[in-house]
Amino acid sequence: MFLSYSFTNKKTPRLLLLTGLLALICGLVLRQSAPAVPTSEVSEKVVYLTFDDGPSKVTIDLLDLLKEENVKATFFVIGATTDRGKMLYQRILDEGHTLGLHSYSHNYNQIYQSADAFFEDLTRLADHIESITGYRPQVFRFPGGSKNAVAGQGVLKEIIEGAKSRGLTYFDWNALGKDDLSYAEDPDVIAKNVIESAGDKDTIVVLLHDNTIRTTAPEAVKKIIDYYRERGYTFEALTPDSPGIRFQ
């Protein structure tokens, strides 16, 4: 019985193999000729790396790394008075990153006295950057975020309204490196903080800091880039049209 079964089905494995091969070839041809999925249907996973408080001695290393990795980011800068700082505004722009405003003085007590005080400081920074680079930033980040303990809620609301009428867009964050310490944090810890706070979000705006103390920032950023790249994320610089990650 077994023998006769084997005999009568002798050609079956070969046939199966042939059918399988044909199916595979058809599949490959179909796959190659299939129309591309419209980009609107692709679930986009984007990381926006943002650096507050620069330019600093660390900015050059950050820019070198971003260039090497072909990643665009956003720098929310403060008032630079040195030649190096002014040159860095220009380099940030030249290399395709977004140059955003963070405040000229970064003095919370001064800028959060009133909406007028805030815009006086922000305008000073925008004028300063425009006089150096010819570019006037359109995006900004509140020092401490759009909800912070220093500014009263009334002042914050007034600033938000004032920003709209001035054509300025602000961004907060939904992931952070917790790197604003009095020392340079371990790059592994910074990367871990970002990954844990971002969770499984598709749109991630990462808050990191660029100042002279943050010497481990480039190493941490490299780890963050590698992690998200492996998981299919792309990296973009913020524009006024980017997803509105805001506390209010």
206/199 Cα distance (integer angstroms): 12
CB of 143 to Zn ion, least distance (A): 5
Residues 183-222 that bind Zn ion (CB under 5 A): none
Q: Any contact of residue 55 with Zn ion (CB under 5 A)?
A: no
102, 128, 209, 210: which is the annotated catalytic residue?
A: 209
Nearest to 47 by CA among 204, 231, 194: 204
What is the x/- site pattern for Zn ion, positions 8-47, by CB under 5 A? ----------------------------------------
CB of 99 to Zn ion, least distance (A): 15
Buried b (16+ CB within 10 A) or exposed e, 81-109: eeeebbebbebbbeeebbbbbbbbebebe
The correct pick among 52, 121, 210, 236 for binding Zn ion (CB under 5 A) is 52
Q: Residues 6 or more apart from 195 whose CB is under 8 A from it?
A: 224, 227
- 209 included as an active-site residue: yes
CB nearest Zn ion: which residue? 52
The correct pick among 54, 55, 143, 187 for binding Zn ion (CB under 5 A) is 143
90/96 Cα distance (integer angstroms): 10
Q: What is the DSSP letter of 38?
A: P
Question: Could you give the residue numbers annotated as active site?
Answer: 52, 209
Q: Which residues bind Zn ion (CB under 5 A)?
A: 52-53, 143
